[in-house]
Amino acid sequence: MKIAFIGLGNMGAHMARNLVQAKQDVSVWNRTASKAEPLRAHNAHVSASVPEAVRDAEVVITMLADDSAVSSLVLEPDGVLPHLKAGAIHISMSTISVALSQQLAVEHHKNGQHLVSAPVFGRPEAASAGKLFVVAAGDAAILDRCAPIFAAIGQRTFLVGHKPEMANVVKLAGNFLISVVIESLGESIALTRKYGIAPQEFVEFLTSTLFAAPVYKTYGGLIAEQRYQPAGFAMRLGLKDVRLVAAAADSAGVPMPLLSVVHDNAVSALGRGMHELDWSSLARLAAENAGLK
Amino acid sequence: MKIAFIGLGNMGAHMARNLVQAKQDVSVWNRTASKAEPLRAHNAHVSASVPEAVRDAEVVITMLADDSAVSSLVLEPDGVLPHLKAGAIHISMSTISVALSQQLAVEHHKNGQHLVSAPVFGRPEAASAGKLFVVAAGDAAILDRCAPIFAAIGQRTFLVGHKPEMANVVKLAGNFLISVVIESLGESIALTRKYGIAPQEFVEFLTSTLFAAPVYKTYGGLIAEQRYQPAGFAMRLGLKDVRLVAAAADSAGVPMPLLSVVHDNAVSALGRGMHELDWSSLARLAAENAGLK
Amino acid sequence: MKIAFIGLGNMGAHMARNLVQAKQDVSVWNRTASKAEPLRAHNAHVSASVPEAVRDAEVVITMLADDSAVSSLVLEPDGVLPHLKAGAIHISMSTISVALSQQLAVEHHKNGQHLVSAPVFGRPEAASAGKLFVVAAGDAAILDRCAPIFAAIGQRTFLVGHKPEMANVVKLAGNFLISVVIESLGESIALTRKYGIAPQEFVEFLTSTLFAAPVYKTYGGLIAEQRYQPAGFAMRLGLKDVRLVAAAADSAGVPMPLLSVVHDNAVSALGRGMHELDWSSLARLAAENAGLK
Amino acid sequence: MKIAFIGLGNMGAHMARNLVQAKQDVSVWNRTASKAEPLRAHNAHVSASVPEAVRDAEVVITMLADDSAVSSLVLEPDGVLPHLKAGAIHISMSTISVALSQQLAVEHHKNGQHLVSAPVFGRPEAASAGKLFVVAAGDAAILDRCAPIFAAIGQRTFLVGHKPEMANVVKLAGNFLISVVIESLGESIALTRKYGIAPQEFVEFLTSTLFAAPVYKTYGGLIAEQRYQPAGFAMRLGLKDVRLVAAAADSAGVPMPLLSVVHDNAVSALGRGMHELDWSSLARLAAENAGLK
């Protein structure tokens, strides 16, 4: 399949490489061109512009930082939309707002193109190993055609609906749940520390029993060790995602009081200078509010 | 070992039976005497009173409903404390307040007796199978002597500190985390339902990926099916536990805003008539607040 | 002064009439033209279009429902901006977002025009009596020129800063405080009712003592009487304002947990069918959550 | 009337003096005896013990710090209850829990004595000037007999019900409303400061318009000036009252999410070292969480 891959950040570079290694015909483009060079060594075509990358593509994949990046690289005159063939597929894998996803669906439809939303769960190591989880939504026949792509980058694909935005909602709901896990670990570790219990032992207990899940292991470990730097995912990015959840909830009329707590605490964390710490440092705020350290 | 077992409810009856089957010499007592009869068939001694049950015991185990039951059956004149031998051990396995645990420690110490707190995690099926998780705290040498007991009723024991109350804190912190999982599933399922995503599929996704833990499977399943009756653990009991966490947090000066949300919603759920539903029906409140159903 | 007045709703019609009666030379325009007719009887010029109304104006006043109305009637080709003379003043009195206020300031500046923000506090009766409170911000010399206008419609003007957006922030902060008064009355009246205290007596006590302010009298009365219809200010409009506050707070990095509570409860109130009730029915939600009625 | 007055703190000393000056026959007692001396100069009898003070009294008034003080000085063998005549009245004016008020009612009834609850609103200056607001509840005929006492210490009395606890609930509900005013001022002043608006001007605007009430003036002034020391009412006392409200709400099944916010923030404030600041320093926490100062 002829694939264009736009966005070679921490995640995208690994995903593009896995596609090349799965024998797909891949053209890549990245705003900072130097990041594309390692892909050239893996036999990807390195394109000089978005239009060049997407012109002959059957599928274009975007993996970008936020709404603003997706909006400008897809919708503007020198972006994906005006240069993609009719009948081609855009797989949007970025974490974006439901509203933008809805807008992309409308615009691609007008151009005779197809939109699939397929955000992923997993950190860069999982991306490198092709072990991401892919959450995809869109027209069933189109999703079928994307299956080999999802197989190349992930360990499992979850099809969650026929409208692309549904995958974005699931991604946002998942990020909400992660943020709540962090905050709840922060509060409970503050509580148990106050009674003299070592965080490592508390986390070991949790993750050996009812909470034996990757998310508790990953964040429980970071919090127990107070290892908030370097940030795997910075607080300001976490807050950005919390806001996307809030926007989706607001549009749909869903009150989410736990989200409000996480939101307010993330804003406080930034107000207290934690911009560049990992978002698991919500737990540091909880500790400080309990008078610890 | 000569063991007295006080409290043969949904959990205690199974635990006592497992002790008998582990060849321990067990006397049992229960307020409603008929519940002791099945244990007689398993070769437990059935005592007519608490003093009779504990008089010769090396270890007395209490597994009771709440602070009030523990307080009256342990501290009153015809309770455990005045009739237990010096040097004997009281293993308190009930979910009680940190304050009562502290008081028990003081009173037993005055009488030359030992207190160990060892609350358990797991539902009745796990109790029946001897697969509970035991969280124990107290003097290290005393905990050592209790090891065979813990082995008989649980699959693993976590020693979390030298003061009995520390085990109670861990139990309460664990229940807090469970309550937050329920509430967060309720909110996220309300959100995803609004966008047309089937709860079963959303839960399947979660529990196959980052949230592959027993607590998400158990409660995710109940919520997706809206199976709130019969209650495995009724809302009013859930609220009782939330209040114990709040009391422990307040004494220690730990703000827990997620707990506040769960507390306020549990009170609202009762106000809206959900007394006898399972506490996972916090998710039903979330759905109703989102205008669903 | 030659004044154009755009927007003759519940508030604007009274304000425009007061300007005419203060001997100002007023042209009015309203989307639904029939609403302009009563002003004609008061000797206002009734314009057929926005461009006609504003063409010769020294000052144009907009008093519209929301961002979307202001945006289209000011910024679009047949709106205020392209047809207003250089040197003229736009007094924006609507409750709009801080972001839109900032954008208007930029656009007017480009056109050599001046923007003043001057939202008002008060209900229609106050507007009719010329007893509004005006909160104004903008360039000091320009504010000076607006003084007679403010005097005609209000009982007092508060100058809160040199940037127009500052008046919008004060308006939003004031609405936030009102929403909190409503919610806090709702919660405290639910509490006192549960103990048998009549709401009327509780409100009488409050408003005769520490809380002797108009906002407690107005809303305390509505809540004590459960008089939620007809809506003076509908719940969905209240929620709209809450969102404007939240957006302003988010841009500035200010956590507002009380606002989060009001927001989540307003969304729940809508989810429970209170769209067209007065926003004081937040108190009804509080009562229902306490199991009352 | 023969009156015993127990508790001569910041408030009680003024109240007792006003009773003497109203020609009542007053015996006073205070744990720290030296505080009674100034009353002697005003012609009060200074008693050496509680039993001596109350033995001949028709009315005994208690004005003490908290539940624990009231409980020990009223219920213990050398306290009020065992030494008060049958038919006499106990006017409990302290801010205490609803539960203790209920217990006092039962115990006095057993002894053929009468309980009236009559907590007051106002700061020490108001107590000195006899300008307190008295909120009283109890048997109507008994309240009648207390009228001259209330008249001597307050500017107005509000009768709120026939059960003494009802006055305690109103007192707690009032304190809740005050705490919310503080927190809401804190959040809104943080917001407006971020946009460059001077707190003094914002407070001036509020208290000249919709929020022209004593509570906004008092606390708005303290917060605008950041005058948190010396504490008129220390944060830890504020938190104590918040907990009394929470207990009353919990017993009655009333969710109070605004109270939860205030509670969690007050605990955080203490965790961050604000024990001895005035409870209006909730606003300082709000400012710090917004990154101010």
Query: Above 90 in pLDDT, residue C176?
Result: yes
CA distances from A199 to A283, B171, B179 (A): 12, 14, 20
Mean pLDDT, chain D, as a whole number?
A: 97
Indicate the SS3 state at residue A26: strand
Domain D169-289 has CATH 1.10.1040.10: yes
B2 among known catalytic residues: no
Q: Give the dihedral sign, CA D65/D67/D70/D76.
A: negative
Q: pTM of the predicted model, to two decimals? A: 0.97
CA distances from A83 to A44, A113, B234, B279, C10 (A): 20, 11, 59, 54, 50
Which of A98, A187, A292 to mutate: most B Cβ within 10 Å?
A187
Q: What is the dihedral of CA C236, D178, C189, C120, to 10 degrees?
A: -30
CA A110/CA A86 separation, integer angstroms: 10
At position C242, the amino acid (one-letter code) is V
The pLDDT of D192-196, averaged and rounded, is 98
Second-level CATH architecture of D2-162: 3-Layer(aba) Sandwich (3.40)
Residue A68 CB-half CA count within 13 A: 1
Per-residue model confidence as pLDDT tens for chain B (293 residues): 999 999 999 999 999 999 999 999 999 999 999 999 999 999 999 999 999 999 999 999 999 999 999 999 999 999 999 999 999 999 999 999 999 999 999 999 999 999 999 999 998 999 999 999 999 999 999 999 999 999 999 999 999 999 999 999 999 999 999 999 999 999 999 999 999 999 999 999 999 999 999 999 999 999 999 999 999 899 999 999 999 999 999 999 999 999 999 999 999 999 999 998 999 999 999 999 999 98
Mean pLDDT, chain C, as a whole number?
A: 97
Give me the pLDDT at residue B123, please: 86
- Least Cα separation, residue A247 to chain C (angstroms): 10
- Least Cα separation, residue D144 to chain C (angstroms): 18
Confidence class for position D293, pLDDT limits 50, 70, 90? confident
C284-C286-C289 Cα angle (round to 5): 110
Q: Among all chains, which residue has been given the structure tokens 């919709």?
A: D210
Which member of A253, A263, A271 has the closest CB to residue C271?
A253
Query: Above 90 in pLDDT, residue D123?
Result: no
Active-site position among B2, B23, B85, B171? B171
Whether residue C79 contacts residue C228, with contact meaning beta carbons closer than 8 Å, is answered with no
CA C232/CA C276 separation, integer angstroms: 10
Element at B174 (helix H, strand E): helix B164-194
Q: Among all chains, which residue has been given the structure tokens 């309720």?
A: B186
Residue D267: list chain A partners with CB under 8 A. 289-290
**Terminal Cα distance for chain B, rounded:** 56
CA A64/CA B271 separation, integer angstroms: 46
DSSP one-letter string for B46-80 = E-SSHHHHHTT-SEEEE--SSHHHHIIIIISTTSH
Q: Which two tokens stand for residue A118?
A: 């397929």
Element at B90 (helix H, strand E): strand B89-92
Whether residue D89 contacts residue D108, with contact meaning beta carbons closer than 8 Å, is answered with no
At position C164, the amino acid (one-letter code) is P
CA C135/CA C93 separation, integer angstroms: 9
Question: Of the candidates B73, B83, B64, which has an alpha carbon nearest to the alpha carbon of residue B7?
Answer: B64
The pLDDT of C88-96, averaged and rounded, is 98
Give me the pLDDT at residue A235, please: 97
Query: Above 90 in pLDDT, residue D138?
Result: yes
Whether residue B135 contacts residue B170, with contact meaning beta carbons closer than 8 Å, is answered with yes
pLDDT digits (tens, 9 = 90+) for A215-259: 999 999 999 999 999 998 999 999 999 999 999 999 999 999 999
Residue C291: list chain B partners with CB under 8 A. 270-273
Query: What number of C-beta contacts closer than 8 Å exist between C and D?
Result: 201
CA B215/CA B229 separation, integer angstroms: 18
CA distances from A174 to A20, A255, B143, B167, C94 (A): 29, 16, 41, 32, 38
Active-site position among C163, C171, C240, C293? C171
CA C249/CA A17 separation, integer angstroms: 42
Q: Which chain D residue has its CA at the smallest distance from A275's CA? A: D291
Residue C214: list chain D partners with CB under 8 A. 209-210, 212
pLDDT digits (tens, 9 = 90+) for B170-209: 999 999 999 999 999 999 999 999 999 999 999 999 999 9
**Domain layout of chain C by residue ranges:** 2-163, 169-289
Q: How far is CA C221 from the centre of its chain?
A: 21
Question: Of the candidates A19, A229, A246, A48, which has an alpha carbon nearest to the alpha carbon of residue A128?
Answer: A19
Q: Which two tokens stand for residue A272?
A: 């207290």
- Interface of A to C at Cβ within 8 Å reads 243, 249-250, 253-257, 260-261, 263-265, 267-268, 270-271
CA distances from A43 to A55, A148, A150, B258 (A): 19, 19, 20, 50
Whether residue D257 contacts residue D215, with contact meaning beta carbons closer than 8 Å, is answered with no
Packing angle, helices D257-271 and D235-252, rounded to 10: 150
Question: Of the candidates D244, D248, D266, which has an alpha carbon nearest to the alpha carbon of residue D66?
Answer: D244
pLDDT lower than 70: segments of chain A: none
CA A279/CA A293 separation, integer angstroms: 19
Indicate the SS3 state at residue D122: coil
Query: Above 90 in pLDDT, residue C123?
Result: no
Q: Among all chains, which residue has been given the structure tokens 């500017």?
A: D155
CA A280/CA D92 separation, integer angstroms: 50
- Least Cα separation, residue A204 to chain B (angstroms): 9
Q: Which two tokens stand for residue A136?
A: 């995809």
pLDDT digits (tens, 9 = 90+) for C192-251: 999 999 999 999 999 999 999 999 999 999 999 999 999 989 999 999 999 999 999 999
Q: Where are the beta strands (DSSP E) in B130-196?
A: 132-137, 154-161
What is the predicted ipTM? 0.97
Second-level CATH architecture of C2-163: 3-Layer(aba) Sandwich (3.40)
Q: How many helices (H) and strands (E) does chain C have?
A: 14, 9
Peptide bond into B230 cis (omega under 30): yes
